[in-house]
Amino acid sequence: MVLNRLREIIKPITSRIGEYFSKTGLPAWFWTLFGILFALASMSFYMQQGYLNTLMGGLFYLISGFMDVVDGAVASYTHTASKLGSFIDSTSDRITEIIVFFGLMVGGWAPPDLIFLAVTFSLLVSYVRAKGESLNVEIRGRGLGERAERIIILSLFSIVGAPYYGIVIVSALAVITFVHRCIIVMGALK
C-alpha cells in the first residue's frame, strides 16, 4: 500500500532503471528469470543457520525483489509489455515467495506453522487481487502488506539477524491485507 502510493512519484526513477537495463539488450523475461535465481540463492542461505546466512538471504531476497522492478521497467521502456509477460511476471513472483519461505522453513528460522501462515496468506493476498480485478474490482494498492512491503520487511529483519520477527510481521500484514481485500471485493460485488 505504502510503496504502491509512491509508484507515481518514483516513476521517473523506474523509467531510468528501464532505460539503463534495456541497454544490455536483454528482454524483460530475462530479468524475471534472474529474480527467480536470486530467490534460489536467498533460499540456499536461509536453509542454513548463522548470521551470515540471514544477512545473505536477506540481501539476495532484496535483489530478487529489485529484479521484479527491473523486468517491469524494461518491458515498459522497450514497449514490450504484454499479457503473456504480465502472467509470467506474476507467476514468478509467487514462485519466488514460495522458494524463499521454503528456505526459511528448512533453516528453522521460525516454526513451520508460522511460515505456512506467512506463505499461505502472502499467496492469498495476490489471489484476491487477481480474482477481484477479474471481476472488475480495482485492488491494486489496497492493504497494508503488498508484496513489496513484505519483501522489504523480511529482508531488513534478516539483514539485522532477526528473520523470525520479519516472518511474524509479514504473517500479520498478509492476514490483515487478505481480510481487507476480501472486504473490498465483497463490498463492491453486493
Nearest-5° Cα angle at 160, 142 to 45? 90
Q: DSSP secondary structure string, 73-129?
A: HHHHHTT---HHHHHHHHHHHHHHHHHHHHHHHHTTSS-HHHHHHHHHHHHHHHHHH
Cβ(74)–Cβ(85) below 8 Å = no
Q: Which grid cell is 70?
A: 527491473
68 is catalytic: no
Cβ(57)–Cβ(151) below 8 Å = no
Catalytic residue of the set 68, 71, 89, 93: 93
Cβ(11)–Cβ(72) below 8 Å = no
* Burial track 64-88 (b if 16+ CB lie within 10 A, e otherwise): bbbbbbbbbbbbbbeeebeeebeeb
What is the Cα–Cα distance from 136 to 126, expressed in whole angstroms?
15
Cβ(161)–Cβ(121) below 8 Å = no
By annotation, the residues acting in catalysis are: 93
